[in-house]
Amino acid sequence: MRREMTGTTASEIRTELLRAGQQLGGAANGVVLNLIIMTDESAQHDAMAAASQAGREHPCRVIGVIARPERPDSRLDAEITVGESAPGQLVVLRIYGELSRHADSVVTPLLVPDTPVVAWWPGSGPAAPAADQLGMLAKRRITDAAASAAPGDALRALAARYQPGDTDLSWTRTTAWRSLLAATLDRQHSEISAAAVSAERGNPSAELMAAWLAGRLDVPVHRDVSGGPGITSVAFSADDGEIAISRLDGRNATLSRPGEPDRYVALHRRETPELLAEELRRLDPDEVYGEALIVLAEEAGDAGGVAAGRR
């Protein structure tokens, strides 16, 4: 069922969601969380599609919020989709004029009660997600520094204002890399004296990977520029030679160790729905991400915000 509502109110939208759920046998009964998406017209289709795919694993009430403060008239429009192969319920809100400055008052009545709230900015997000009016409603807040015009600056701003519950899809993109690196270094090897992460210029996942390695290994970690896509290699300088994992095609990696034949490992680049689904699996603070941000903040000379957020 799909319904468009023009010049409406939050109360009317809530009533329509309840009515639609009853018609389809209680569509909200299986909802395990609320997902608020702060987006714009150009990105809303892809963002809602990604949320819908992730919702097959985590049935959500998805509330997309498009704020249009430049419009002179205060108005609220909504598109509601329930059923039609959509897991949970999808709502797109277009909030115009002065009303857009109070988006939290519009969204709050639409949240499924007693259900966790996650906020996601698929485009350029706020520097302090926990202080954002919609971010304050959420237990988990997902940004994506890679969508920013200056990803490195965006990461350092997030580091300076980190609060438990914050995370970034640039960090999620490193999950498979970190698992493979941890398994590689768990094996007996000689002492490591340095490491290097190679990626295309300005890649925020490489920045986080290097910070994570520096914090865990307590060795210098160099950032090298490659042609991509994404992170292309991570190498360790050890007493008995170099340990390296290289991935030049974005799909398969080669693991090289001194005195051993090369091994080949699947290490594909993941799309947004898969990344989002991973983040929705955990609602507790990602302490390892916070630790990586501490290293980034220290490199930028401002660890105060991260340290305060972790107390």
- The per-residue pLDDT for 25 is 61
- 2-25, pLDDT tens digit by residue? 889 999 999 999 999 888 877 766
The predicted model scores a pTM of 0.91
Dihedral angle of Cα 137, 99, 59, 20, to the nearest 10 degrees: 140
Instruction: Render pLDDT for 206-262 as a digit per residue (tens, 0 to 9).
Output: 999 999 999 999 999 999 999 989 999 999 998 889 999 999 998 999 999 988 999
Separation of alpha carbons 192 and 67, rounded Å: 50
Query: Which pLDDT band holds residue 159 (cuts at 50, 70, 90)?
Result: very high
- pLDDT category, 1, cuts 50, 70, 90? confident
Q: Are 275 and 172 in contact (CB under 8 A)?
A: yes
pLDDT for the residue 85:
61
pLDDT at 57 over 90: no
Query: Tokens at residue 231, please?
Result: 């992170």
- Which range is least confidently modeled, 80-89, 109-118, 202-211, 269-278? 80-89
Question: Degrees (nearest 5) of the Cα angle 287, 291, 296?
Answer: 145
DSSP, res 286: -
